Structure 1
Amino acid sequence: MGSDVSPAVRSREIVLVREIDAPRELVFRLWTEPKHLLKWWGPNNCSAPSVSVDLREGGAWRHCILAPDGKEYWSRGRYIEITPPERLVFTFAWENSAGQPEHEMQAIVELEDKGGRTKLTFRKHQLPSDTEFKLQSSGWAEALDKVAAYAEEQAGRRAS
């Protein structure tokens, strides 16, 4: 990390783990294909009306989360590492009202094969404030619950 990143920012890291009853290859596709991202991206009560993906190392992505009050939250980033079906590393930045990226963070998605099931570990580094850490921790926890339910539904394994 560069010297321009304070120790407080370096210490803010979200780590979330989910056990998903779906194959790893499917879960990886849910993170990388727009048709799937549209179904789960964002916290509860939010939808994802716009998703673009240029899935290659150095390629850009951009997503919109639509809140229940109609407010749009745009985020964007670049893919740093793509290792199907086990690892995805990307930058993440919220866009400001002028459409410019704010503080850039890094996210890592690791998928471990558990014999037809998948252990998903999500990490996000360099959150700029304690408030942002709390908001994103709960938002990502909800999003991971949504991706787990969607993956199990796609795999035909969702509990009734």
Structure 2
Amino acid sequence: MSSADATEATEATEDLVISRVIHAPVEQVWRAWSESDYVMRWWGPRQFTCPSAEMDFREGGTSLVTMRAPMEFGGGDTYNTWTYQRIVPSREIEYVLEFADKTGVKVDPAEVGMPPDMPAAMRNLVVLEDLGDGRTEVTITEFDWPVGQLREMSRMGMQQCFDKMAEIFET
């Protein structure tokens, strides 16, 4: 492989698309994305917690969410902002996820221990589809992931977030 081919390969990106059927009406699933109490129950993979979610859920607003690692992964907090580009009530949420400090000031992902190929900003689109019978399909698209391990780790993490979200409505 030539160095030009290697550079092109490391710059290849793909969208990550994950769907899940949640056994709850669309109005309740919408709240899981828009209300602090709900976000704190599902944000982060298994064993991770979300001790705070300061929600400014409106177009142009920015929410600040915290993900706390379990002690086996160092127990530290990671902060993300979700800046909302477009909101279609009970249907779509488009936002940009960025790493931040605890006050919400954007930081380079490498400053918080992320690998150098971690994108600084990740555009996300959440689509809710009312399937009837009290079921909602949630599809999230994370745009322009570098192809490779980080993308697959995000897939795993988001699938675990969906598992936690589904559990909210099972109780």
- In structure 2, what residue type is equivalent to 1:21? H
Q: Which runs of 5+ in 1 are unaligned?
A: 1-5, 154-160
Offset at 1:129? 5.8
TM-score by length of 1: 0.83
Structure 2, gaps ≥5 residues long = 1-7, 109-119
Give the CA deviation at 1:53. Answer: 1.0
**1:42-121 to 2 correspondences below 5 Å:** 42-69=44-71, 70-95=75-100, 100-102=106-108, 103-115=120-132, 116-121=134-139
Name the structure 2 match of 1:152.
Answer: 170
Deviation at 1:8, TM superposition (A): 6.5
Task: Compute the displacement of 1:135 (Å).
Answer: 1.6
C-alpha RMSD over aligned residues: 2.3
SS of the residue 2:106 aligns to: coil
Please, which of 15, 18, 26 is the counterpart of residue 16 of structure 1? 18
Identity %: 29
Partner of 1:125: 143
In 1: Cα distance, 2:93 partner to 2:55 partner: 13
Would the aligned equivalents of 2:65 and 2:79 in 1 still touch at CA under 8 Å? yes
| 1:96 to 1:36, Cα distance in 2 relative to 1, 3 A | closer
- Counterparts in 2 of 1:105 and 1:41: CA distance versus 1, 3 Å: same
- Where 1:47 maps in the other structure, the secondary structure is coil
The Cα offsets for residues 85-140 of structure 1, whole Å up to 9 and x where unpaired, read as 01111100123799533310111110101112101111111224623212211111
Matches of 1:134 and 1:111, distance apart in 2:
23
Task: Give the alignment's TM-score, normalised by structure 2.
Answer: 0.78
SS in 2 for 1:57: coil
Point out the structure with max Rg over C-alpha: 2
Secondary structure of the corresponding residue to residue 107 of structure 1? strand
Structure 2 vs 1, CA of residues 97 and 83 (structure 1 numbering), >3 Å: closer, same or farther? closer
- For the structure 1 residues 22 and 112, does the alpha-carbon distance in structure 2 shift closer, same or farther, using more than 3 Å as the test? same
Q: Against the structure 1 CA distance between its residues 34 and 92, is the aligned structure 2 distance closer, same or farther, given a 3 Å change threshold? A: same
Q: Could you tell me whether the CA contact under 8 Å between 1:75 and 1:93 is conserved in 2? A: yes
